[in-house]
A and B are shown apart, each in its own frame.
Chain A
Amino acid sequence: MDTKKKFNLSLGQLTIPIIAILILVVFNLIRDPSFFSIGITQNNDGNSVLSGNLITVINGASELAILAMGMTLVTAACGGQDISVGAAAAIAGSAFVKILKSGDSISVGTVILAFLFACVVAMIFGAFNGTLVAVFKIQPMIATLILYTCGRSIAYWINGGATPTVQSSIITAIGGFIPGIPVPTPVLIVVIVAIIFKLVFHFTSLEILTQSVGINGSAARLNGINSTFIKLLSFIVLGVCVAVAGCIGVSRLGLINHETLLIDIEMDTILAVAIGGNNLGGGKFKISGSIIGAYVIQMLTITLYAMKVSSTDVKAYKAIVIILLVVIGSPVVKAKFEKLMTKLRSGKAKETVKGAE
């Protein structure tokens, strides 16, 4: 009779990423419960701040999580990924530093101005990628390959080839801790970005429009949706995420190194989207999945480091775990699993019917 309830038991999109996180947590609990100990220590500036492996994980994944949110939208609308986010973040970071270094001293106003400038620059490059994809219908990976290739050169030019350092308590606060707040600032920024996404989805129809364009572009068009605009918009939104991530990266180090800033982050970003259960071919998406995906990746890395795996070997171990995650999350395995569940359930149902008789 209550068929509705039965249908709800099917696998949700977030099942795999949540299970992955739980497995990592349990694994670490067994391995070394002290992994989770969170203490309060004094940092160099004399602030009381949270510390511990867990904090390192959550803090370290900030840029990845922010980029993954934007990437989810691009993936959903365009059915492809932007591989230039690392290079674009270097450009945004350089632009950020350029403004910071333009005056004699760095005030809050300068930082805001610099951040807005970085946003505009990143949005312009996002719009460039977006135009190639949405207007010229170039495959996203090919379109963004251009910026991937030349982005760090552009970043190099912006500051005349130098890697200037920025010394300011405000920048230290953005990359580290705000005096009086024990939570790392990048973590707070992730929360803010996530809330902004949530609000945008609540106050606009972006979510259903993006999904429609990603699932069936032709039908979307005949329902009056401007899919060019939606695709372009997704890249511009990702541009803002790139700027935020770039500015955090710069603030952590207090300098811009166009060669190393957020290097190789594009692949981790795409991976976070995939682990989050989002279809890389576009369509339905869950931003929360991608955020969890980002933490899974970071947690994995830190766990491996905590196990004293050398940094050269880490990548190989990471690859093994990721293969497992992606295979388990694949439609084939999901379908088999659901079939098994249905069988178990119908078996149970039969038993109860017999019992009733």
Chain B
Amino acid sequence: MNEDVLLTMRHIEKRFPGVLALNNVDFTLRKGEIHALMGENGAGKSTLIKILTGVYQMDGGEVTIEGQPVVIHSPQDAQNSGISTVYQEITLCPNLTVAENMFIGREDSAWIRQKEYEKRADEILEKLGIPTRGVTQLGRCSLAIQQMVAIARAVDMKCKVLILDEPTSSLDDKEVNMLFKLMRDLKAEGVGIIFVTHFLEQVYEVSDRITVLRNGELVGEYPVEELPQVQLVSKMLGENLIEELPEVQTETKMIGTDQDGVSAVGEMIREEIKKNSDVFYEAESLSSNQALPFDFKIRKGEVNGFTGLLGSGRSESVRAIFGADKVTGGTVKIKGEQVKINRPIDAMKHGIGYLAEDRKRDGIIADLSVRENIILALQVMNGFFKPISRSESEAFADEYIKVLNIKTASRETPVGSLSGGNQQKVILARWLLTHPDYLILDEPTRGIDIGTKWEIQKLVLKLAEDGVSVTFISSEIEEMLRTCSRLIVMRDRHVVGELKGDDLNQAQVMKTIAGGEA
């Protein structure tokens, strides 16, 4: 009915064994529009997108592009219809070059010589301001660059509909702005962009319209200016859920202030720490083949964090603490006694747990069941000759599925089939089961829904109350301000500041990260 309409999806239905993933969902995308698709994990966002990209077949409904009905049976069909996607998890080939990744599997690529497409890739990368070259092996690029190469590939395919599924979760602020500029450029050219993200602020920064899904059903479509952030959250979570979780409402209302519930708890813990100051872990000029020497200590029951832009060395530092990379120097003391931590197992034996940044690569054992994933670290610590019996492991799994509210069909479901947030909870359960004295959480809330983010933050504070030390890393500074009593700021692989007390506010953190202490 409207000339501007680019894509419509009507009465979309999709069933999986035992679940109705999408129930009569409508979605409309106009030309030159950035349209945010919002919803909690399990709301049906990913399913809707996978139908659009030919990964899943819908069980009912119809899709039109520019008024013409289209049938999408495969990703190739989607590409031919002008639909391109950049997924949350990067799906390129790390052992090929950037140029090869940009042109691989495209009909127009078969007859182009290598030199030619490397040149073409360089042109596109330069135009988009992506700091890499066509000849570089993709695996050598940072996650952020890999993501942007994926976008460059989609952009170059002259797509009408561009789907960005959590594109910003691995980008720092500067890169996010670069991406937003690119999105606006594409929008001006008439491309319709479907933007899926968990960062609410970003939705308000670039989107024109918001469609909200909940439990596989359409909640509604709204122009962005007519839907304040608080209302968006309540639409996503459902009204009754808001009442159960009153903090969520206050949190979104007063981001960055000290008046919400959790910060009050945090404050109490901060007080507690002042009284009880036995250092649990202490490192002096610790270094690894990835991290430059740094000093670090954490007290019993303290929550601190490493912050800094992507590539600042925050992950590399905590990996050195856990022995995840090759440790090259420094002395480490635990409860005042000098120890050697060269491998993960050493750290685990000293009561340290580490939830890795890259859940898919370093966290889950996808084909193993939820139960097996939960007991894994404890099993390794128990040793080769002390297997955890089936009944014992079932009891452990059931306990943590309940405590952490893990949504899974059963404890024997392969963990790879769970949603991201629930996978993260499984890995949390794995470490909690080892009853660590010190838990390192590197981006535990990345790419997961707000409800789960909240549960994880609350869990961190609960652990601290119980005397567990926690190092918490998050790319969302508010989240760290809410949970940490001390922030170690890193820039260019060096520690450039340590903030606590009154300095713990967004402005000061930003200033330190950006390098404006003076």
Instruction: Tell me whether A354 is interfacial, beta carbon within 8 Å.
Output: no
Q: Which residues of B contact A225 (CB under 8 A)?
A: 345, 380
Q: B residues within 8 Å of A by Cβ?
A: 15, 17-18, 322, 324, 343-345, 347-348, 354, 356, 361-368, 372, 375-377, 379-388, 409-410, 413, 430
Query: Are B382 and A205 closer than 8 Å at their CB atoms?
Result: yes
Q: Which residue of chain B has the shortest Cβ distance to A220 in the bound complex? A: B365
Query: Are A223 and B15 closer than 8 Å at their CB atoms?
Result: no
Query: Are B18 and A7 closer than 8 Å at their CB atoms?
Result: yes
Q: Give which listed residue, B347, B367, B382, B409, contacts A4 with CB less than 8 A.
A: B409
Chain A: minimal CB distance from B466 (Å): 23
Q: Which residues of A contact B410 (CB under 8 A)?
A: 4, 7
Query: Are B17 and A222 closer than 8 Å at their CB atoms?
Result: no
Given known A-B contacts A4-B409, A224-B344, A206 and B367 have beta carbons under 8 A apart: no
Q: Which residues of A contact B376 (CB under 8 A)?
A: 208, 212, 223
Instruction: Tell me whether A315 is interfacial, beta carbon within 8 Å.
Output: no
Query: Are A212 and B365 closer than 8 Å at their CB atoms?
Result: yes
Q: Which residues of A contact B385 (CB under 8 A)?
A: 203-205
Q: 15 new A-B pairs (CB below 8 Å) besides A204-B385, A223-B376, A224-B381?
A: A4-B410, A6-B17, A7-B18, A205-B380, A205-B384, A205-B385, A205-B387, A206-B384, A208-B372, A215-B368, A216-B365, A219-B362, A222-B363, A224-B343, A345-B17
Query: Are B367 and A211 closer than 8 Å at their CB atoms?
Result: yes
Cα distance, A292 to B387, chains bound together (Å) = 27
Instruction: Tell me whether A167 is interfacial, beta carbon within 8 Å.
Output: no
Q: Which residue of chain B has the shortest Cβ distance to A10 in the bound complex? A: B17
Q: Give which listed residue, A7, A218, A226, A283, contacts B17 with CB less than 8 A.
A: A7
Interchain Cβ contacts under 8 Å between A and B, 17 examples = A7-B18, A7-B409, A203-B385, A205-B380, A205-B386, A205-B387, A206-B384, A208-B375, A208-B376, A215-B368, A219-B363, A222-B344, A223-B348, A223-B380, A223-B430, A224-B348, A345-B17
Query: Are A3 and B372 closer than 8 Å at their CB atoms?
Result: no
Query: Are A342 and B364 closer than 8 Å at their CB atoms?
Result: no
- 9 interchain residue pairs of minimum CB distance: A224-B345, A3-B18, A205-B387, A224-B380, A224-B344, A224-B348, A215-B365, A215-B367, A212-B365
Interface magnitude class on chain A: 20 to 34
Chain A: minimal CB distance from B353 (Å): 10
Q: Give which listed residue, B381, B383, B413, contacts A7 with CB less than 8 A.
A: B413
Per-residue CB contact flags for chain A residues 199-214 toward chain B (1 = under 8 Å, else 0) read 0001111101101100
Cα distance, A148 to B63, chains bound together (Å) = 57
- Which residues of chain A from 331 to 350 have a CB within 8 Å of any chain B CB? 342, 345-346
Instruction: Tell me whether A221 is interfacial, beta carbon within 8 Å.
Output: yes
Query: Are A219 and B361 closer than 8 Å at their CB atoms?
Result: yes
Cα distance, A3 to B366, chains bound together (Å) = 22
Instruction: Tell me whether A98 is interfacial, beta carbon within 8 Å.
Output: no
Given known A-B contacts A7-B413, A208-B379, A225-B380, A219 and B364 have beta carbons under 8 A apart: yes
Instruction: Tell me whether A284 is interfacial, beta carbon within 8 Å.
Output: yes
Given known A-B contacts A222-B324, A225-B380, A283 and B386 have beta carbons under 8 A apart: no
Q: Which residues of B contact A206 (CB under 8 A)?
A: 384
Chain B: minimal CB distance from A219 (Å): 5
Cα distance, A206 to B385, chains bound together (Å) = 9
Cα distance, A226 to B376, chains bound together (Å) = 13
Query: Are B344 and A223 closer than 8 Å at their CB atoms?
Result: yes
Q: Which residues of B contact A209 (CB under 8 A)?
A: 379-380, 384
Given known A-B contacts A6-B17, A223-B344, A211 and B368 have beta carbons under 8 A apart: yes
Q: Which residues of A contact B364 (CB under 8 A)?
A: 216, 219
A contact patch SS: helix
Q: Which residues of B contact A212 (CB under 8 A)?
A: 365, 368, 376
Q: Which residues of A contact B380 (CB under 8 A)?
A: 205, 209, 223-225
Q: Which residues of B contact A221 (CB under 8 A)?
A: 324, 344
Given known A-B contacts A3-B409, A6-B17, A203-B385, A218 and B368 have beta carbons under 8 A apart: no
Q: A residues within 8 Å of B by Cβ?
A: 3-4, 6-7, 202-206, 208-209, 211-212, 215-216, 218-226, 283-284, 342, 345-346
Q: Which residues of A contact B383 (CB under 8 A)?
A: 205
Q: Which residues of A contact B382 (CB under 8 A)?
A: 205
Q: Which residues of B contact A226 (CB under 8 A)?
A: 343, 345
Query: Are A342 and B17 closer than 8 Å at their CB atoms?
Result: yes
Cα distance, A90 to B293, chains bound together (Å) = 54
Chain B: minimal CB distance from A236 (Å): 14
Cα distance, A222 to B367, chains bound together (Å) = 17
Q: Which residues of B contact A342 (CB under 8 A)?
A: 17
Most buried by A among B15, B18, B363, B364: B18
Q: Which residues of B contact A222 (CB under 8 A)?
A: 322, 324, 344, 354, 356, 362-363
Given known A-B contacts A223-B344, A223-B380, A284-B367, A218 and B362 have beta carbons under 8 A apart: yes
Cα distance, A209 to B384, chains bound together (Å) = 9
Query: Are A218 and B361 closer than 8 Å at their CB atoms?
Result: yes
Chain A: minimal CB distance from B324 (Å): 6
Q: Which residues of B contact A220 (CB under 8 A)?
A: 365
Q: Which residue of chain A has the shortest Cβ distance to B386 in the bound complex? A: A205
Chain A: minimal CB distance from B412 (Å): 9
Q: Which residue of chain A has the shortest Cβ distance to B343 in the bound complex? A: A224
Q: Which residues of B contact A205 (CB under 8 A)?
A: 379-380, 382-388
Chain B: minimal CB distance from A341 (Å): 9
Chain A: minimal CB distance from B12 (Å): 17
Cα distance, A221 to B324, chains bound together (Å) = 8
Chain B: minimal CB distance from A27 (Å): 34
Q: Which residues of A contact B345 (CB under 8 A)?
A: 224-226
Q: Which residues of B contact A218 (CB under 8 A)?
A: 361-362
Cα distance, A6 to B386, chains bound together (Å) = 34
Q: Give which listed residue, B365, B381, B386, contacts A219 with CB less than 8 A.
A: B365
Chain A: minimal CB distance from B322 (Å): 8
Chain A: minimal CB distance from B59 (Å): 9
Chain A: minimal CB distance from B379 (Å): 5
Q: Which residues of A contact B365 (CB under 8 A)?
A: 211-212, 215-216, 219-220
Cα distance, A4 to B363, chains bound together (Å) = 26
Q: Which residue of chain B has the shortest Cβ distance to A7 in the bound complex? A: B409
Cα distance, A283 to B414, chains bound together (Å) = 13
Query: Are B377 and A223 closer than 8 Å at their CB atoms?
Result: yes
Chain A: minimal CB distance from B416 (Å): 9
Q: Which residue of chain A has the shortest Cβ distance to B361 in the bound complex? A: A218
Given known A-B contacts A6-B18, A222-B356, A204 and B384 have beta carbons under 8 A apart: yes
Chain B: minimal CB distance from A300 (Å): 30
Q: Which residues of B contact A4 (CB under 8 A)?
A: 409-410
Cα distance, A284 to B412, chains bound together (Å) = 13
Given known A-B contacts A224-B344, A224-B348, A342-B17, A208 and B384 have beta carbons under 8 A apart: no
Q: Which residues of B contact A211 (CB under 8 A)?
A: 365, 367-368, 372
Cα distance, A315 to B162, chains bound together (Å) = 53
Query: Are B344 and A284 closer than 8 Å at their CB atoms?
Result: no
Given known A-B contacts A204-B385, A222-B344, A223-B377, A215 and B366 have beta carbons under 8 A apart: yes
Query: Are A284 and B368 closer than 8 Å at their CB atoms?
Result: yes
Query: Are B356 and A203 closer than 8 Å at their CB atoms?
Result: no
Q: Which residues of B contact A204 (CB under 8 A)?
A: 384-385, 387
Cα distance, A284 to B382, chains bound together (Å) = 22
Q: Which residues of A contact B384 (CB under 8 A)?
A: 204-206, 209
Given known A-B contacts A6-B18, A221-B344, A224-B345, A203 and B362 have beta carbons under 8 A apart: no
Q: Which residues of A contact B368 (CB under 8 A)?
A: 208, 211-212, 215, 284
Chain A: minimal CB distance from B326 (Å): 12
Chain A: minimal CB distance from B465 (Å): 27
Cα distance, A6 to B409, chains bound together (Å) = 10
Q: Which residue of chain A has the shortest Cβ distance to B377 in the bound complex? A: A223
Q: Which residue of chain B has the shortest Cβ distance to A205 in the bound complex? A: B387
Cα distance, A6 to B410, chains bound together (Å) = 11
Cα distance, A216 to B410, chains bound together (Å) = 22
Q: Which residue of chain A has the shortest Cβ distance to B372 in the bound complex? A: A208
Cα distance, A221 to B326, chains bound together (Å) = 12
